[in-house]
Amino acid sequence: MTTAGPDELVIRRPDDWHVHLRDGPMLALAADQTARQFARAIVMPNLVPPVTTMAAAGAYRDRILAALPPERDFTPLMTAYLTDTIDPDEVAEGFARGFFTACKLYPAGATTNSDAGVTDVAMIHPVLERMQAIGMPLLVHGEVVSEDVDVFDREAVFIERVLTPLLSDFPNLKVVLEHITTSDAVQFVESSSANLAATITAHHLHMDRNDLFRGGLRPHAYCLPVAKRREHKGALRRAATSGNPKFFLGTDTAPHPKADKEADCGCAGIFSAPVALESYVRVFEEEDALDRFEAFASEFGPAFYGLPLNGSRVLLRRTAMTVPDLITRQDEQVVPFHAGETLGWKFEGVL
């Protein structure tokens, strides 16, 4: 980290280890907002139909790159969506040939476009064996979906019922527990082997479950896993700012059209890409840990994935920046995270 002046922060250009860039009319809006700030991003495969083949991943990567303005310097890292019937040969060949960087496990029914997800981890043991053998990371949406489990307990129960046995069956598999929301997850990751890491979103560092009901029902605060109690947020803030390399940046930016959020059955997902670095850096400043921000944002992710660090740098300036109420492009309208708030930092660009 360099401080170019008292109100400037220069860090190695970060990567985002968990994004939803969507497809169709939303893709150009979503991809550009991520590519503005981040050099690389792990692109989630929960399209309809899901990305399960090299051909689908390659075509999707091409659509992402074609949707970006030419000045963007951005590398999408593609993932395969695990289904009960996915072909282990396709996954392994896709990893070897650079089509896939990782595989994503969605428990069936857990979140947006997860209907084709895994019904029972036993179904994917053959593909997990292959991934373990070739060093291909498994990215996990860590929530059970059983009706008997309260929505606020789904992550903790997943750790106990699904993740613990999975890690003992595949001790050498590299696993990222995505978008963690509980102190249970923090403690589990801290006490597990170096093969288990976790991403932490900006919104889970800012919000607790009260924010869903602040003065009324707040659809733009709704995402999965849903925000938990205040003490869980505290545990996440301590983990993110601790300097432990097992915790790194993954926004889970997940745009949905404004009308689909403000509906009688509003979609889960928070669009944080437009203000991602401004949002995270504010947390590090509040926690008096600005000197640890660069490692969380730009070093620990590549180290876990075994990828090189980015060479370029970005400039953040300490200044009042009011977040727009709406991000639009052609007919698409999305409400960003922190809409209407004034943040104390502004992303000034890539140096």
Partner that binds at residue 12, options ligand NCD, Zn ion, none, CB closer than 5 to 8 Å by kind = none
Whole-angstrom distance, CA of residue 75 vs CA of residue 80: 16
Closest distance to ligand NCD from the beta carbon of 279 (Å): 15
With CA atoms as reference, report the closest residue to 121 among 135, 112, 134, 110.
110
Identify which of residues 149 and 268 has a Cβ nearer to ligand NCD in the complex.
268
Residues 219-238 that bind ligand NCD (CB under 6 A): 223-224
SS3 state at 64: helix
Closest distance to ligand NCD from the beta carbon of 46 (Å): 5
| Amino acid letter, residue 52 | T
Identify which of residues 11 and 47 has a Cβ nearer to ligand NCD in the complex.
47
Closest distance to ligand NCD from the beta carbon of 20 (Å): 4
Q: Is 112 in the site for ligand NCD (CB under 6 A)?
A: yes
Partner that binds at residue 92, options Zn ion, ligand NCD, none, CB closer than 5 to 8 Å by kind = none
Identify which of residues 81 and 345 has a Cβ nearer to Zn ion in the complex.
81
Tokens in use for 271? 């669009």
The secondary structure of residue 323, as a DSSP letter, is P
- H or E stretch including 314? strand 313-322
Exactly one of 46, 53, 183, 251 binds ligand NCD (CB under 6 A); that residue is 46
Q: Is 268 in the site for ligand NCD (CB under 6 A)?
A: yes
Partner that binds at residue 275, options ligand NCD, Zn ion, none, CB closer than 5 to 8 Å by kind = none
Could you tell me if 203 and 337 are in contact, meaning their C-beta atoms sit under 8 angstroms apart? yes
> In sequence order, which residues have a C-beta less than 8 Å from that of residue 318 and are 6 or more positions away?
6, 7, 8, 9, 344, 345
Q: Is 206 in the site for ligand NCD (CB under 6 A)?
A: no
Name the active-site residue from 252, 260, 325, 331.
252
Pseudo-torsion of CA 166, 115, 246, 300, nearest 10°? 140
Identify which of residues 252 and 299 has a Cβ nearer to Zn ion in the complex.
252
Closest distance to ligand NCD from the beta carbon of 18 (Å): 7
Using CB under 6 A, count the residues that bind ligand NCD.
11
Could you tell me if 259 and 326 are in contact, meaning their C-beta atoms sit under 8 angstroms apart? no
SS3 state at 125: helix
- CA 124, 126, 129, 134 dihedral sign is negative
Whole-angstrom distance, CA of residue 205 vs CA of residue 234: 8
SS3 state at 198: strand
- Residues near Zn ion (CB under 5 A) are 252
Angle at 7 between CA 322 and CA 249, to 5 degrees: 70
Q: Is 199 in the site for ligand NCD (CB under 6 A)?
A: no
Exactly one of 52, 111, 199, 251 binds ligand NCD (CB under 6 A); that residue is 111
Identify which of residues 52 and 132 has a Cβ nearer to Zn ion in the complex.
52
| First-to-final CA distance of the chain | 14
Closest distance to ligand NCD from the beta carbon of 90 (Å): 23
Exactly one of 11, 254, 276, 281 binds ligand NCD (CB under 6 A); that residue is 254
Evaluate the omega torsion of the peptide bond into residue 245 and state whether it is cis, within 30 degrees of 0.
Answer: no
Burial 91-118 (b: 16+ CB within 10 A, else e): bbebbeeebbbbbbbbbeebbbbbebbb
Residues 283-322 that bind ligand NCD (CB under 6 A): none
Q: Is 145 in the site for ligand NCD (CB under 6 A)?
A: no
Partner that binds at residue 223, options Zn ion, ligand NCD, none, CB closer than 5 to 8 Å by kind = ligand NCD
Is 150 known to be catalytic?
no
Partner that binds at residue 224, options Zn ion, ligand NCD, none, CB closer than 5 to 8 Å by kind = ligand NCD
The secondary structure of residue 102, as a DSSP letter, is E
Closest distance to ligand NCD from the beta carbon of 141 (Å): 6
Q: Which residues are catalytic?
A: 252
Binding site for ligand NCD (CB under 6 A): 20, 46, 111-112, 141, 223-224, 252, 254, 268-269
